[in-house]
Structure 1
Amino acid sequence: MSAPHEKRERNDVHSLIGAYVLDALDDIDRAAFDRHLRDCDVCRLEADELFEVTARLADGAWSVPPPRLRDNVLAEISNTRQLPPAVPPRPRAQDRSRRGLRLVAAAAAVVAAAGAGVAVYQVQDSRVRDAQSRLEAARASEARVRSILGAPDVQTRSGELRSGGRVTVSSSRLQNAGVIMLTADSAPAAGRVYQMWTIQSGAPTSAGALREGQSAAVQVVEGLPAMSNVGITIERAPESPQPTAPLDALVDLA
């Protein structure tokens, strides 16, 4: 009878990518996934993207203010006496003026503190939600890539980049989608980016552009089986509405 880790390594090692990136694997599973990454370009690229997202999530260590910060500060405003006693001694006009200014300043400081606390909380909460959304999108993309590459009718074709590197296109009619995997030897010169195109009846449509300095990407393209070609060009950043000749690579899907 096979050990549980051996069974996992054979059957669903791809599913370990999320836990691997979050450093949540035990030593045996991590070793198994390390071996898998040496042979699986898709998982390796997905892992790189997930590492980037989680790095942004942890960027600039910060802490969320206590949930009751706003309530506590506003409570202090209501508890701070801003009116004189019921029967006060009659102050001089100059004293009344100074005391009024102090009360106004104190109230303003408390209100400012409350506003600042709420603003900081909102900004930090927005950062968390944004990073979580990117992580969820990366996980959804990973699942979509896996479903396409695992389809029984998937067909894979590839071509060389003139600038050095390789583009691989996997397409499934059952999934009505495909995956473009671009791995260049290096990124284009400053101000230039790789851009992917789908071509049907001679008409090109952008399938997305890489960022400046980026040399590898995995891109899901819905409806790819209806296309005749996939092309790669080098364009001015951030991207071009039309491909610039000559093509850096052209993959025939027919």
Structure 2
Amino acid sequence: MKTKNMLIGGMSLALVACISVGATLAYLSDTTGTVQNKFQMVTNGIVLNLQETAKDGAGYDVYTAKLEDSQLKKDQKVTDTTTGETLNANNAGEIVGFIYENIQPGAILQKDVKLSIGQQGTTTVSSWVFACMENSNGANMTVTVNPQNWKVVANDSEKHKTLYLYQGTLASAGDNNQKYIPEFENVKELPSLFTTVEVPAATQPNASFNDIIVSGYAEQAEANTYAAAYANALNHFGMTADEQ
């Protein structure tokens, strides 16, 4: 009789143990709302402009783009109002260059070629700024570039092109010892690339000259390297750097 009672008691304890284990499976839980992350690429992160002026009495004619549409696409071909030749311009009526006539040997032609970067009311990302000058006139026409602000970083003697990198006071950060312009607001005008073009005194009166062509290129510095920006600038201008 006592043995039977002990068996029933053991079964009761086992049943309680099972109920106890089952109770531990009820976890605490809760839910939250959602957070939506939106991603948008920067627009107009770099706006680069090239302008050219000449001083009064320098003996030049101004030629401008001639089109009715005031918002031309970049590098669209237009017709020069003075010479009839085909030119590139961004806007109708925009000055796209100067024509110098009746140049005398030894003349110093006044010029002011400069780049500006940025746009009013916007932020320009950190960037390297390059300028390319093509001058196939050789010794017949000397252009002295501002060395305090523009550093020669490549020459392509076959195509008569020189690549310059802006290294003036506006450029304060750097990579690989090459400074770039840090992020800023609105517009910054960079110092002139050059201000004069000199015709040597020994130049023959009937000498002919080729156009001097200047253009600019800027590339972001963040998440980038100077080596990559330099390679892209060479590619943009169709240059192959001479071996140093």
Question: Aligning the two structures, in what range does the TM-score lie when normalised by the shorter sequence?
Answer: under 0.3
Structure with bigger helix share is 1
Normalised by the length of structure 1, the TM-score is: 0.24
Structure with bigger strand share is 2
Normalised by the length of structure 2, the TM-score is: 0.24
